[in-house]
Amino acid sequence: MAEQECTNEVRLLRQGTLRRGWEDTEKCLAHSLFWVAEVFVGGTVGVIYGGMAALLFVLALFVAVFIVATVTAPARQRDELRRAFNVAVPTYDAAAWLTIEKEFRDIANTSVAVAWASRAGGPKEWNVWGDGQRRFAPLAERAGNMLLRTPLKSDFVAADLLAETNPLWRWLCLLATDGTTLEITGNGFERDNQGNKIFHESGGLKSPQERSANMCAAIAAKIA
């Protein structure tokens, strides 16, 4: 239901400004208070200045409503999308993390290999394979997305880690921060066109399913 609401808001955001302004104007015209104001003020103008002035007032008020609705349409669309996003993407509590912990433990006996490589001290690039890859990778990606909507302090999950755009890599990077999970199995260097050495190293993660389950339990304990 929440995802449907978010989809509807995205559709509204993609509307043209004029179309959204017209739709909001129609809503205003359907409101009884608008017509009460029209009759009262328009009638007063008509009594004082005549029928033509009253007609011009009615038309001017209609145009003014349309202009205001059109000018403010983008701001309203953004606010609606923001509210819909907050509904569609929940904040995860300890129970949610304990649930995914169990899912990681359920695949503990599957064969999963996680490898990484880094060049010139840059960020790690990750790869997952093995018989259990089809079950592990979606879970790890889900956990990586959950990190963004979980109230954790920066001393547990660093801001630069949360800034990782790939949710799978975000989760694997978190696993690598415990100091015991990360393995370095190779290193060396290559030379660029100018003859400069570019160092690189590679390795893997020990027991990614078990480490993932333990990390989920640790997160649940932090926010319980």
User: How far, in whole angstroms, is CA 2 from its chain's centroid?
Assistant: 14
Average pLDDT for 39-68: 71
Q: Are residues 202 and 102 in the same domain?
A: yes
Q: pLDDT confidence of 2, banded at 50, 70, 90? A: very low
Residue 29 belongs to domain spanning: 2-88
Q: What is the pLDDT of residues 188-223, one digit of tens each?
A: 667 767 777 666 666 778 889 999 999 999 999 988
Average pLDDT for 3-10: 43
Q: Are residues 75 and 137 in the same domain?
A: no
Q: What is the pLDDT of residues 9-50, one digit of tens each?
A: 445 545 577 777 778 877 776 776 656 666 666 667 666 667
**pLDDT attached to residue 150:** 87
pTM equals 0.55
Number of structural domains (the chain) is 2
Q: Are residues 119 and 219 in the same domain?
A: yes
Q: Are residues 71 and 102 in the same domain?
A: no
pLDDT at 165 over 70: yes
Q: Are residues 23 and 45 in the same domain?
A: yes
Biggest alpha carbon–alpha carbon distance for the chain? 92
Of the given ranges (54-63, 81-90, 92-101), which has the lowest mean pLDDT? 81-90
Burial classification of residue 174, based on how many CB atoms lie within 10 Å of its CB (0-12 exposed, 13-18 middle, 19 or more buried): buried
